[in-house]
Amino acid sequence: MDVTTILLLLLVGAVVTFFAGDKLASKVALVFSLGALGLSLYLLNLLNQGAVISYIGQWIANPKVTLAFKADGLSMAMVLLTTALTPLIVFSSFGNSFTNAKNFYALVLFMSFAMVGTFLAADGLLYYIFWEMALIPIYFIALIWGNGDAEERKKAVVKFFIYTLGGSLFMLIAFAYLYSKAGSFLLGDLYQLELTTTEECWIFFAFFLAYAIKIPIIPFHTWQAKVYQKAPTVGTMLLSGIMLKMGLYSVIRWQLPIAPNAAKCWMPVLIGLSIAGVIYGSIVALRQKDVKKLLAYSSLAHVGLIAAGCYTLTLDGLSGAVSQMIAHGFVIVGLFFAAEVIFRRYETRTIADLGGIRSQTPKFTSMFMILVLASVALPGTFNFVGEFTVLYSLSQVNIWFAVLGGTTIILGAYYMLKMFQNVMLGETNTKVFADVTANEAITFVAIIAFLLFFGLYPKPIVDLVTPSLKEILEVINK
């Protein structure tokens, strides 16, 4: 089947949503996002039956740019993450009111279109175009519909835009150089290149700069917390749940196989930087007074561990990283949604102003608690599967990497449970907290059901991505 169908569906959905008008925009966006999810599941079924899901067509003759899309297990897992979270994010926003809703929801679908294109692209320049296109909608979503002081929001969003665009330009230069060597941007042709050690190092770090900013890895993280805090919750969910996975996916798909010797040479440094992000993010999270900023630094710590797993260059590390990408996507969306539910009732995210919620809403308390426990990788949740596998892979490289990386569990449990205690327990805020609506409950239940099901039975996801990861490791170790 032509894999571009899912891209066309999301693009058409964005256009139709825009012309549907403000009143119907959210519902139209939900219908098209659910359609994209259904089509993704159909493509997954075809892939499991052994079908080749790709599209190749000539686009530009000189330089030779091909409309090349391909879905294998790894890219399909990322597409499913995107198309599963997009309708959840849209549905979760039904409790909010947005000015110019048609623009807002059209941008959400367009961003989903660009991210799916990034995961499916098998031509370097095409991949770069989708990579950059994903930046445009989130820029406007955060700038126009964000919260807080307008001037501060503008500074934070512009900084994010400049950082990510600047890093991406180095990646574009790397692709231009690779084209001069291969005469093609096709991923398969780039894998076959035999570069010198010096060439590999330059290419590797050009890619690294783009991906380290997007993920982010310290010291390239300085844009993250402010943007997560200032963006509307839908924007924060898109950024943390899906967009940062573009960087982690790209490390595995593009950076490591194209410059494998540089990756092997710099492995200890890269793992060290990633683990430094784990420790730094956890320590800074301990001191946060705003729920969204605390979750932002928590996310920084968790993606640091995922990046460390990617750079182990082992099957366990890559498999654990992909599992944790998916688990983190769902749990962080759930946690940011919980923060939004609280904000809808109390109009504050300041931890000191909260408290006393548990006695008023046991349902919300229970669901929030499950998400907190999943975030700290409680056995039985999907997050445990990913984190345990990554830590095991780190122990194979160096036991101290595993010990230091494991601090994310200890520190994470401390700051997350402390946050839960201050927000949900006690008697600080006596204002009435309305129980969760049907819309909110459905969103929470869907996320929790996913985390618990794959926490107990991760085999389908592991089996889906393993063949692709083995092929990538063969290229790395050729």
Q: CA-CA distance, 370 to 214, in Å (whole number)?
A: 28
Dump the DSSP string for 446-477. HHHHHHHHHHH--HHHHHHHHHHHHHHHHHHT
**End-to-end Cα, the chain, rounded Å:** 31
Q: In this model, does residue 17 exceed pLDDT 90?
A: yes
State the pLDDT confidence band at 430, using cuts at 50, 70 and 90: low
State the pLDDT confidence band at 401, using cuts at 50, 70 and 90: very high
What local confidence, expressed as pLDDT, does residue 2 receive?
Answer: 75
Q: Which residue has the tokens 């991760």?
A: 458
State the pLDDT confidence band at 429, using cuts at 50, 70 and 90: low
Average pLDDT in the chain = 92
What local confidence, expressed as pLDDT, does residue 1 receive?
Answer: 61
What local confidence, expressed as pLDDT, does residue 218 receive?
Answer: 84
Instruction: Compute the average pLDDT of residues 217-234.
Output: 88
Tell me if 252 is assigned to some domain.
no
Tell me if 286 is assigned to some domain.
yes
For 80-84, 117-121, 332-336, 435-439, which range has the lowest pLDDT when averaged over its residues?
A: 435-439
Instruction: Tell which residue, 317, 405, 330, 424, has the closest CA to residue 374.
Output: 330
Q: Which two tokens stand for residue 162?
A: 């400049």
What local confidence, expressed as pLDDT, does residue 419 receive?
Answer: 93
Q: Report whether 69 contacts 4 (CB < 8 A).
A: yes
Q: Report whether 469 contacts 252 (CB < 8 A).
A: yes
What local confidence, expressed as pLDDT, does residue 252 receive?
Answer: 96
Q: CA-CA distance, 268 to 261, in Å (whole number)?
A: 13
Instruction: Tell which residue, 58, 72, 53, has the closest CA to residue 2.
Output: 53
Tell me if 430 is assigned to some domain.
yes
336 Ramachandran zone, left/alpha/beta (phi>0; psi -120 to 50): alpha
Q: CA-CA distance, 266 to 425, in Å (whole number)?
A: 46
Cα-flanking dihedrals φ and ψ of residue 430, to 5°?
Answer: -95, 5
Cα-flanking dihedrals φ and ψ of residue 57, to 5°?
Answer: -150, 145
Give per-residue pLDDT as tens, 372-390: 999 999 999 999 999 999 9
Tell me how many degrees the CA angle 122-310-394 measures, rounded to the nearest 5: 160
Q: Which residue has the tokens 């654990």?
A: 320
Residue 49 is classified by DSSP as T
Instruction: Compute the average pLDDT of residues 175-198.
Output: 92
Higher pLDDT pick, 360 / 307: 307
Instruction: Compute the average pLDDT of residues 9-37.
Output: 95
Q: Report whether 420 contacts 342 (CB < 8 A).
A: no
Domain of 336? 266-478
Alpha-helical runs (H) found in 311-435: 315-346, 362-375, 382-397, 399-405, 407-424
Higher pLDDT pick, 3 / 87: 87
Tell me if 241 is assigned to some domain.
no
Instruction: Compute the average pLDDT of residues 394-412.
Output: 89
What local confidence, expressed as pLDDT, does residue 392 receive?
Answer: 95
The residue length of the chain stands at 478
Q: Which two tokens stand for residue 308?
A: 């460390």
What local confidence, expressed as pLDDT, does residue 221 receive?
Answer: 85
Give per-residue pLDDT as tens, 447-477: 999 999 999 999 999 999 999 999 999 999 8
Tell me if 458 is assigned to some domain.
yes
Best mean pLDDT range from 107-116, 299-308, 430-439:
107-116
Q: In this model, does residue 406 exceed pLDDT 90?
A: no
Higher pLDDT pick, 80 / 409: 80
Give per-residue pLDDT as tens, 112-154: 999 999 999 999 999 999 999 999 999 999 999 988 778 888 9
What is the tally of structural domains in the chain?
1
Residues 6+ apart with CB under 8 A from 174: 202, 203, 206, 207
